[in-house]
Chain A
C-alpha cells in the first residue's frame, strides 16, 4: 500500500488532490503575476467557435477525471455502508456523517488540525518572509545565500519527514539533546505535545523555502524607486516595512496564504505518516490522515468518504472566506 495521498488508488475516496487542486485553481487564477485588468484587455478572437473548447479539452479532461469524478464517487460512497470484505454496500443515508460529527475523537482531531494548520501557515509564512527580507538586503554573496535557502525545497516530503524524525530521534537527534540540555525530555511518538511540536517544526521547515522564493521575487518586484521614495519619506525601517513593503507584497502573501493553508491541511501527510506510523496510540494526527486511517487501515470506506466530503466543504468555505474577506484588502498594482 502506498502512503502518499496523491496516489491514484486513494483518489477515489480522498479529498486530498481534489480539494487541493480546487483551491490551487482559485489561487492561480489571481496570482500576483496576472492582475485582473489584463485579462479583459487581451481578448483573442477565434475563427471557429469550437476551437477554444478544443484547446480547453485536455485541461478539462484532467480536472474531470481527477477532481469531479472522484468527488462524485466520494459523495456517493459517503451515503453507503461498505461491507468490510467488499461483498456489497447498504444505503445508510446521513448515518456516516452523523457518526463522524458525533464522535469526540473526530472533533478533537479537527481541533488539532485547526491549530496545526494555523501554526504551520503562520510560521512558514513569517519565517519565509523574514528570510526573504534579509536575503533581499544582502548585497555580497547573495546568490549563494539564496541558493542555500532554496535548496531545502528540493527535498521530497517523506524524506523531509525522515530527516525531521532524525532531528527528533530519541538517541541521535540533536534537537532532543539540545532540549535535554534544558531538562526537557522530548519523546516524539510517545508524548502528544512532543509529537505535535515535531510535526509542526518539520512541516514549517519543509515549507519555508517555497515561501521564501515567492516572497523574494515579490520583494524584487517592488520598484526600486518606490523603496527609495519611502527611504526619503520615512526614517524608520520597520515602519517602512509595514506601510510600504508589506502592502506591496500583499498579492504574493495572499497567494501564499492559500497555498500554505492547503499545504498544512493536505500536503503534510507524508511528514505525519513518517512521524506517527507504527507508533503507540494517542498521537496527534490531522483530518486528512484520519481519512486515510479509517479508509485504508480501518476499511470503513463509507465513514472515510463522509470525512473527506466534510474536509472538502471545510476547504471550500475557507477558500471562499479568504477570497471574500482577505483579498478585499489586497492591492494588485
Chain B
C-alpha cells in the first residue's frame, strides 16, 4: 500500500497532440480515486502512464516514495484490471491468478494460499480448473480482479472494468469492487466514462476534459459545487440545466421571463445560470415562477422527468409522479439552489453563498420542510 503522487504529468504524442496536459493529483494511501470524463479526455492515457504502458512525456509519477517514470510495469508494484478482462486464454483460472506470482518466484505454498484466499473472497473457487472461455462475463471479471488481488500490490488500476458487463451485473460488481477495496484498503485509481460509477465508487473523483483537470473533489462536493459548466453538465443525471441569463439588480432575466432571487452580489450582468432538475418544483399561485412549455415526459417510476422549454431554451425538471401536468407548468426554485457560471469561460462564479456550506444544508432542509 502506498500513496501515489502524479506531478505535472503530460502526454505528448509523436504528432504533437497533447493528450494529457500537466495533470497533478495527490492520492492518499488507501484512497479510491476515480478518473471520469468523456471519451478522448485523456483519462485512460493518464492511467496507462501510471501503469507503465505509455511513456510519460513530462512530469513525474511517484508510487510510495519511488519515482517510477522509468521503472518496468512489472516492477511498479501495481496490478491492473482491464476492460476486456485480458485473461490468459490458454491458462486455467488458477494459473491466471498464479502467473504473476510464479514469475516473481513466490514459493508454491504461498501461491496456493493466496490464490485460495482470493478465490474464496471472489467466490470463484469452483472455477479454478476451468479455462476463461468456459466462464461468463461476470465470472471473467472476478478472475481479472482475483489476478490483481493475489499480487497484493501497492495500488490497483482499473481501466473501465465494468463496461463490458450488462447493466444489472454492472451494479452488482460495482458494489463488490467498492466493498473489496474498502476491505483490502489498497490505493485505487479507477477510470470510467460513467458518471454514476464515478459518483458511487469514488472517495474523490477527478473530472477530466480535453486532457486537463476540471475539478477534483468528493462526489457530493462535485455534484453540489461543480467548478465549471462542463462538470455541471457531466456529473449528475439528468444533466444540470444551464440557461443564459442577464442580471438586473437582484433579478434574473431568462429572455422574457424573470426570476427574483432576493440576493445577488457582485455578479456580472451576463451569466449562465445552472440548476438541477430535482431542485425545480411546481410553484404555488402566489409564488414567482418560470413558465415551462412541456414537450415530453419520461417516467422513471419514483419520479418523472419533464422535458420542455422556457422561452425557447430546453429544460428538464424532475417532478413527483403525483403532480398533474398541463401543457404549460409554472416552476420555481429556491435562490440558494442556483449555480452561476461565467458565460465565456464556463467557470463557476463564487458568491457569498458558496462559502456557507453548512447554511446551505440548513437552508435546503428548511425549504423542503416548508415546501
* CB of B72 within 8 Å of the partner chain: yes
- Beyond A225-B83, A228-B86, A229-B88, whether A236 also contacts B51 by CB under 8 A is no
For window 68-93 of chain B, which residues contact chain A by CB distance below 8 Å? Answer: 72-76, 78-80, 82-90
Residues of A232-283 contacting chain B, CB below 8 A: 232-236, 239, 243-244, 247-248, 250
Separation in Å of the A240 CB from the closest CB of chain B?
Answer: 9
Q: In this assembly, does A318 line the interface, its C-beta being within 8 Å of a C-beta of chain B?
A: no
Kindly state whether residue B99 has any CB partner on chain A within 8 Å.
yes
B100→A331 contact, CB < 8 A: no
Cβ-neighbour of A229 out of B72, B75, B78, B86 (below 8 A): B86
Residues of A within 8 A of B99 (CB): 233-234, 243
B82 touches A229 (CB 8 A): yes
Give every chain A residue within 8 A of B79 (Cβ-Cβ): 232
Most A CB contacts (10 A, CB to CB) among B76, B82, B147 go to B82
- Interfacial chain A residues near B344, Cβ < 8 Å: none
A225 adjacent to B75 (CB under 8 Å) = no
Structural contact, B133 and A231, CB atoms closer than 8 A: no
Q: Is the CB of B86 within 8 A of A223?
A: yes
Contact-residue size bin, chain B (C-beta under 8 Å from the other chain): 20 to 34
Nearest chain A CB to B202's CB is how many angstroms away? 23
Candidate in A231, A232, A248 with the most chain B CB atoms within 10 angstroms: A232
Nearest-neighbor residue (CB-CB) of B81 within chain A = A229
**Quick check: is B126 within 8 A (CB to CB) of the other chain?**
no
Residue A149, interface by CB 8 Å: no
In the bound complex, CA of A161 to CA of B297 (Å) = 78
**Chain A residue nearest to B100 in the complex (CB):** A233
Are A331 and B90 closer than 8 Å at their CB atoms?
A: yes
Q: Let me know if A226 is at the binding interface, CB within 8 A.
A: yes
How many angstroms from the CA of A226 to the CA of B83 in the assembled complex? 11
Separation of A234 and B103 alpha carbons in the complex (Å): 6
Q: Are B72 and A244 in contact (CB under 8 A)?
A: no
Q: Are B75 and A235 in contact (CB under 8 A)?
A: yes
Whether A201 sits at the interface, judged by CB under 8 Å, is no
Query: Which residue of chain A has its CB nearest to the CB of B51?
Result: A232
Q: Find chain B residues with CB under 8 A from A333 CB.
A: 89-90, 133
Pick the residue among B86, B90, B103, B131 that contacts A225 (CB under 8 A).
B86
B53 located at the interface, meaning its Cβ lies under 8 Å from any Cβ of chain A in the complex: yes
Kindly state the separation between the CA atoms of A247 and B79 in the bound complex, as whole angstroms. Answer: 23
The chain A residues found within 8 Å of chain B, CB to CB, are 223, 225-226, 228-236, 239, 243-244, 247-248, 250, 331, 333
9 CB < 8 A contacts A-B? A223-B84, A225-B83, A228-B82, A229-B88, A233-B147, A234-B74, A235-B103, A243-B99, A331-B90
